[in-house]
Amino acid sequence: MTGSATTAHAVTPYGRTAGSSRVRVFSWLDRVSTPVQVHSYLSHRNADPAYLVRHPGAVRAAELDLRRLAGNRPATLLLHREASPLSRGGLETALLTGAGWSVYDVDDALHTDTGNGPSWRRLAPKSAKALSAARHADRVVAGNEILADWASGHARDVVVIPSCVDPADYRPKQDYRVSDPPVLGWIGSPDNEALLATIGPALRELHRRTGARVRLVGTDRPSLGELEPIIDRTRWSPGSQRELLATMDVGLMPLHDDPYSRGKCGYKLLQYAAAGVSAVASPVGTNRSILADLGLPAATSQQEWIGVVLGLLEASTESRAALGQQIREVVTRGYSYAAWRQRWVEAVGLTGCPRADVPGSVA
């Protein structure tokens, strides 16, 4: 590895086990041959204050590392989301302005996060950091058009690159006969599991009518109260993600309709599609366009959730299989790392060729 001034660097607030950093940074770097030094703060799955307090030495080391990096003025810098959970924007600005070529990657509506909630969140709101990063980066890479529209009001150069999936990372569904009882599925981080409660009445009614259960791939810690009796939990891991989506009959992606949720990148929908699993989602933000691309239904009320899920469960095995094959093909053509690889390399400013040992890459 060469020195900071000539080495490409990537800065991310989380480690590989965090969905956003894995999807937007690590999985891309796995697919290029250019050496990139990654600075992932504590390499943890989140930046929860309780975790930071328990690891003061690691926090201090991470802060010093980022300040050294800013002072060394790297040739190429990719900043994903934020550099430090403790920063108010100054550190992000120093990193981006000090680099020879800097890119800010954003996959959530961080500009709407003004620090509402617990008092500790008001100490370093993400909105100020996102605004400063967009203004000072040479380029912003946005995960969808909604985020790009916001960034275009502050940044000189904005490129849209969706959060991508690799269909090879998911076992494709083979048997499209509905399970007995039917399996409704959800995958995601523990922080987002509460979204299932927003469609709790629909899920309980679907269970009453069909016996359907919810297969949740996230955490094995119960958190959903009255829904827990119909939930089967599995802790997330690369292996559980690869294998369990194909066992679902219908994937679920409910969202709140609020400014923050409208900036999300629809990743769960893409994961279900990569496994060939039909799904239902709230038509919020970019979910609306992804649902249209995939030919999948939306739901906005409890009755609609019940109706569209029942429609997918009651369809013939042949039509369910045809839909599963269709959405897997669509996501491969339009939302895969292979489809977007060259544009990502160019957008970030890396000159290396795609790695030949990664499935789907071109030597």
What domains does the chain contain, in order, with CATH numbers? Answer: 8-164+338-348 (3.40.50), 167-334 (3.40.50.2000)
Q: Which of 36-50, 51-65, 100-114, 262-276 has the lowest mean pLDDT?
A: 36-50
**Average per-residue pLDDT in the chain?**
92
pLDDT of 118: 63
What would the two tokens of residue 16 be?
């590989």
The pLDDT tens digits for 265-323 are 999 999 999 999 999 999 999 999 999 999 999 999 999 999 999 999 999 999 999 99
Residue 361 clears pLDDT 80, i.e. is over it? no
Percent of the chain at pLDDT exceeding 70 = 93
Are 84 and 63 in contact, with CB atoms under 8 Å apart?
Answer: yes
Reported as a pLDDT band with limits 50, 70 and 90, residue 1 is very low
The pLDDT tens digits for 128-156 are 999 999 999 999 999 999 999 999 999 99
Reported as a pLDDT band with limits 50, 70 and 90, residue 121 is low
Reported as a pLDDT band with limits 50, 70 and 90, residue 329 is very high
* 359 upstream amide cis, omega within 30 of 0: no
Reported as a pLDDT band with limits 50, 70 and 90, residue 119 is low
pLDDT of 117: 65
* Model-wide pTM > 0.95: no
pLDDT of 360: 38
Straight-line distance from the first to the last Cα atom of the chain, in angstroms, rounded to the nearest whole number = 23
Q: What is the dihedral of CA 29, 31, 34, 35, to 10 degrees?
A: 40
Q: How far is CA 218 from CA 75, 236, 269, 292, 346, in A?
A: 38, 5, 16, 27, 34
Q: Closest Cα to residue 55, out of 85, 99, 25, 20?
A: 85
pLDDT of 93: 97
Average pLDDT over residues 23-41: 95
The pLDDT tens digits for 196-225 are 999 999 999 999 999 999 999 998 888 899
